[in-house]
Amino acid sequence: MKKILTIMLIFVVVAGYGQSLRLIVDGVSYNNNDTVSLVIGDVSRDNDFYIDVANLTDSVVDLMVRKTELYVVAGTTNVFCFGNRCYSGNQSASPVAVQPGDTFSHAQYPADAFHIIYSPDNNLGTTIIKYTFFDQNDTTIASNLIMKFVAQVGTDDYAAAYSLSAYPNPASSSVTVKYDINMPHFSSADLVVKNLMGATLYSTPLTNTSDKVVINLSDFSPGIYFYSIQQGGKTLLTKKLIVK
């Protein structure tokens, strides 16, 4: 009987983890370890995203936030803030008191609300970051939210400036990549192929504004890859490549 009660107690503690704080993005509530995808249209400016935090407990929560970068697109920056107190590191420096039953939201506390500033700086791709909201005095009161920041081209003019395609796709032994760069004062760029972990497996300079490049795939394992046009260290356009 004692063993059964112990197991039930453990179950209650585990089940309760993450339910003491409710995280809300754009009016939608998310459970512990849920994923939110945010599509960024304007890749040339800072993008602000708010996360509201509801305290479901019957006591004050001294709210802290910890950031875990799962994958970050090269050249991008991200910080998180309580109002104008922003942190580029992995954890907030001081807690914010959230009263029992209260929702610490942008609507109610615009000067102090939690928000994320993501800056693509014209680098395309998906940055993935996990944010852990927890009580400084009781870390069992916590909830995680995984945020995907999907940076894509935001204007027709920018999209028309670059064209990129691969055939066949899926490919096996080799693939032909066709590109067009319709930009004034073009000097050079690079065609880069990366795996899902972001490691560069192939890179070649592009000196013409329009051409084709044949890539030997004999050293590529079957899977998903991404091929991109890069210029000056910035990713201009990215497409998916499947190797059989």
For 92-137, how does the pLDDT look when each residue is reduced to its tens digit (9 = 90+)? 999 999 999 999 999 999 899 999 999 998 888 889 999 999 999 9
Binning pLDDT at 50, 70 and 90, where does residue 9 land?
very low
Say what the pLDDT of residue 235 is: 74
Please, how many CA atoms are within 13 Å of residue 152, restricted to the half-sphere of its CB? 9
Q: How far apart are CA 79 and CA 115, in angstroms?
A: 9
Question: Closest Cα partner for 83 from 55, 50, 56?
Answer: 50
* 169 and 50 in a common domain: no
Say yes or no to pLDDT of 18 above 50: no
Residue 21 CB partners (closer than 8 Å, separation 6+): 53, 54, 55, 56, 61, 133, 134, 141, 142, 143
Please determine, for residue 156, whether its predicted confidence score (pLDDT) is greater than 70: no
- Domain end call among 91, 124, 151: 151
So what's the pLDDT on residue 150?
86
What's the total number of domains in the chain?
2
Confidence tier at 219 by pLDDT (50, 70, 90): very high
Q: What is the pLDDT of residue 176?
A: 96
Domain finish residue from 151, 185, 202: 151
Statement to judge: residues 111 and 69 lie in one domain? yes
Quote the CA–CA distance of 165 and 64 in Å, as a whole number: 45
Q: Rounded to 5 degrees, what angle do the CA atoms 35, 36, 40 make?
A: 145
Q: Buried (b) or exposed (e) across 131-159, using 16+ Cβ within 10 A?
A: bbbbbeeeeebbbbbbbebbbbbbeeebe
71, 198 contact by CB (below 8 A): yes
pLDDT of residue 184: 57
DSSP letter (8 states) at residue 108: T
Going along 121-199, which residue ranges are E strands?
125-135, 138-151, 162-167, 174-181, 189-194
For 53-79, what is the mean pLDDT? 94
Positive or negative, the CA dihedral 98, 103, 104, 110 is negative
**Residue 29: C-alpha distances to residues 16, 51, 140, 192, 237 (Å):** 17, 10, 20, 39, 33
User: Minimal CA–CA distance to 137: which of 59, 67, 61?
Assistant: 61
Q: Looking at the structure, do residues 161 and 140 belong to the same domain, yes or no?
A: no
Q: Domain span at residue 87?
A: 15-151
Band of residue 174 on the pLDDT scale cut at 50, 70, 90: very high
Q: Are residues 212 and 113 in the same domain?
A: no
Percent of the chain with pLDDT over 70: 85
Percentage above 90 pLDDT, the chain: 57
Indicate the residue among 151, 171, 195 that finishes a domain.
151
The pair of three-digit structure tokens given for residue 138, joined into one six-digit string: 């009781």
Do the Cβ atoms of 111 and 50 come closer than 8 Å? no
Q: Work out the mean pLDDT of the chain and round it to a whole number.
A: 85
Are 238 and 139 in a shared domain?
A: no
The pLDDT of residue 63 is 97
pLDDT at position 155 is: 43
Does 120 map to a domain? yes
Domain match, 147 and 160 both: no
